[in-house]
Structure 1
Amino acid sequence: MFVSSWLRGVARLAMSATQKPRVVFVLGSPGAGKGTQCKNIMKEFGYVHLSAGDLLREERSKPGSEYGELIEQHIRNGTIVPVEITCSLIERAMHKSGGNKFLIDGFPRNKENLEGWTKNMADRVQLEGVLFLDCPEDVSTARCLGRGAKGSGRSDDNPESLKKRFETYVKDTMPIIEHYEKLDLVHRVDSKQSPKHVFQDIKDIFQQFQ
């Protein structure tokens, strides 16, 4: 009896040790509220929040970073950083966190991101779904400009960069959302609502993942 119980315990530990990290992608336009809602999800459901944009900005600001200048150029132009750099930063942050449930915010943002993730990471994680915060351009722009006026510290919170960022989002990111919709993995939320109402909708979704 004791031996069989011990063996079952060992089996459970082995299964836990080999369990793939659980991932939810969080996508939406600039200003859709991804950062705000990820903080809410972290607090309520215990996920680790990894923002692709924040990781890139952090790498850009590191003294002597070999990628810093390239990242800055892409951010200012509203274009997308090469996938090899982004995947590397995400994987490093996942390992460093020690967690097993991750919100990956702002990724994958284009076909290259998707292909790079599929090649390098897809078989090493369990993709639970894609949270899509759907927000119209006028609301997104107003939020970002308001954020910039309050001193967000982001070099791309200005009208010219925002226009380019939204164009990039429509051209490159919406096809990724459509790809995952065909796989029945997208959970769409109307994010022009108040943050409180948006999170109530999100809670209903995340309770399905538990």
Structure 2
Amino acid sequence: MLVKRLLRGLQSAIMSDKYNVAFVLGGPGAGKGTQCEKIVKEFGYVHLSAGDLLREERAKPGSEFGDMIEEHIKNGTIVPVEITCSLLERAMKNSEKNDFLIDGFPRNQNNLEGWNKQMGEKVNLKFVLFFNCPLEVCTQRCLDRGAAGSGRSDDNMESLKKRFDTYMNATMPIIEHYEALNLVQTIDATRSPEEVFEDVKPLFS
């Protein structure tokens, strides 16, 4: 018994040196950002949006990656994983907290492999939070968001078609990969934000 307790203590100490991460995935407009805001407020996690970090980097004067990131965002294609992982790791290092929601990542097999190579040993992956929402609902939400002045260059039908293609062909296989590892928590995201959050809360309590 003593040995088991010591081993558990050692395991906890090792885990505490790692970043605690929950990936947040779902189609464009599934409500990932809205739910992340609620989780941050209620449970004190740090919300890191891969897309937001890339957009911030793109907007920085003199950024060596700015033009390349802009081109990928406009085309609905995926920025090289090394850049995204570096931005995520920098944000985690700069945080005073150790619990993170990583929103919109990993989005494809290359992201997954790059993350495992660059960050796998530094992270305790708790689970993947998957907001499941039909594409027609997601499309309307994004178009409404764009019409309301979201300021996002990709909230238009042309970019959305490319983003949905990327999501269905590249991101869904990643969700299926984690499902095979019993790491996916699926939430019905067609409902109101308040109703969705009622299902999210028990996962973090």
TM-score by length of 2: 0.92
The gaps in structure 2 that reach 5 residues or longer are 1-8
Structure 1 distance, partners of 2:109, 2:15, is: 32
- Number of residue pairs matched? 196
Question: Which residue number in structure 2 is paired with residue 3 of structure 1?
Answer: none
Question: Which residue number in structure 2 is paired with residue 4 of structure 1?
Answer: none
Question: Which residue number in structure 1 is paired with residue 5 of structure 2?
Answer: none
CA drift of 1:110 comes to 0.3
Structure 2 distance, partners of 1:192, 1:82, is: 31
Question: Which residue number in structure 1 is paired with residue 6 of structure 2?
Answer: none
Q: In structure 2, what residue type is equivalent to 1:133?
A: F
Question: Which residue number in structure 2 is paired with residue 120 of structure 1?
Answer: 118
CA drift of 1:185 comes to 0.2
CA drift of 1:18 comes to 5.2
Runs of 4+ in 1 over 2 A off after TM superposition: 14-19
Structure 2 distance, partners of 1:122, 1:183, is: 15
Structure 2 distance, partners of 1:59, 1:34, is: 21
Question: Which residue number in structure 1 is paired with residue 44 of structure 2?
Answer: 46
Deviations 1:149-168 (A, max 9, x none): 11111000000100110011
Structure 2 distance, partners of 1:190, 1:177, is: 15
Alignment of 1:37-186 (within 5 A): 37-186=35-184
Alignment of 1:23-38 (within 5 A): 23-38=21-36
CA contact (8 A) 2:29 2:139 kept: yes
CA drift of 1:124 comes to 0.6
CA contact (8 A) 2:26 2:104 kept: yes
Structure 2 distance, partners of 1:83, 1:98, is: 25
Structure 2 distance, partners of 1:19, 1:76, is: 38
Deviations 1:36-92 (A, max 9, x none): 000000011110000000000000000110000000000000011000000000000
CA drift of 1:204 comes to 1.9
Structure whose alpha-carbon radius of gyration is higher: 1
CA drift of 1:20 comes to 1.3
CA contact (8 A) 2:139 2:160 kept: yes
Deviations 1:123-148 (A, max 9, x none): 11100000000010110010001110
CA drift of 1:17 comes to 9.8
The gaps in structure 1 that reach 5 residues or longer are 1-10
Structure 2 distance, partners of 1:88, 1:21, is: 15
Deviations 1:12-37 (A, max 9, x none): 9x948952110000000000000000
What's the % identity of the aligned pairs? 67
SS of corresponding position for 2:24: strand
SS of corresponding position for 1:23: strand
TM-score by length of 1: 0.90
